[in-house]
């Protein structure tokens, strides 16, 4: 029996839409990363882009468990010596709710050039409930990742 390796001709990409309202951030991000990478498909090949497109709606309504809402900080460096900047989760969620989900999903992907371009191409995050991808006819996905 031969080992199957996906080729661009055998890969079919689908579009999915996910509602992040009331979903736990980390659990949602791990499921999205799994779909974007293509690990849910039987034709998964690590060196090929076999994943599907994901549209995330209501990113501003995502929740975190425990005290992460007060304690979680996002790090960035300006490029100058000693210029580290830490942004609290609450202000990041208020100003740029899309980045919260994008950074969480990026953390779940392997650190490679394929993963970076996959994230850039396949993940669309919107703070509200409207999206311009109706022509792709996305299928609704539901996860059981709500906080209890």
- pLDDT, position 127: 96
How far apart, in Å, do the first and last CA atoms of the chain sit?
46
CA distance 56 to 59: 7
Predicted confidence at residue 123, as pLDDT, reads: 97
Q: Give mean pLDDT in consecutive 10-residue pieces for the chain, a chain of 148 residues.
A: 88 96 95 95 92 97 95 97 97 96 96 91 96 96 70
Could you give all domains of the chain from N- to C-terminal order, each with its CATH number?
Answer: 15-65+97-141 (3.90.1180.10)
Question: Which pLDDT score is estimated for 148?
Answer: 58
d(CA 30, CA 32): 5
- State residue 145's pLDDT score: 57
Whole-model pTM above 0.75?
Answer: yes
Closest CA to 142 of 5, 15, 16: 16
Q: Which residues have C-beta within 8 Å of that of residue 41, sequence separation ≥ 6?
A: 50
pLDDT score for 3: 86
């Amino acid at each position: 029996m031969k080992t199957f390796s996906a080729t661009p001709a055998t890969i079919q990409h689908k579009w999915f839409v996910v509602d992040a309202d009331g979903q736990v951030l980390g659990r949602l991000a791990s499921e999205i990363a799994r779909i974007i990478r293509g690990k849910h498909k039987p034709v998964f090949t690590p060196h090929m882009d076999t994943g599907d497109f994901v549209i995330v709606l209501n990113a501003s309504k995502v929740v975190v468990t425990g005290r992460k809402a007060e304690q979680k900080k996002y790090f960035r460096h300006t490029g100058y010596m000693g210029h580290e900047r830490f942004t609290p989760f609450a202000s990041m969620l208020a100003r740029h709710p899309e980045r919260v989900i994008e950074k969480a999903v990026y953390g779940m992907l392997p650190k490679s050039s394929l993963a970076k371009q996959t994230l850039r191409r396949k993940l669309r995050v919107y703070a509200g409930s409207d999206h311009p991808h109706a022509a792709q006819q996305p299928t609704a996905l539901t996860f059981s990742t709500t906080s209890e």
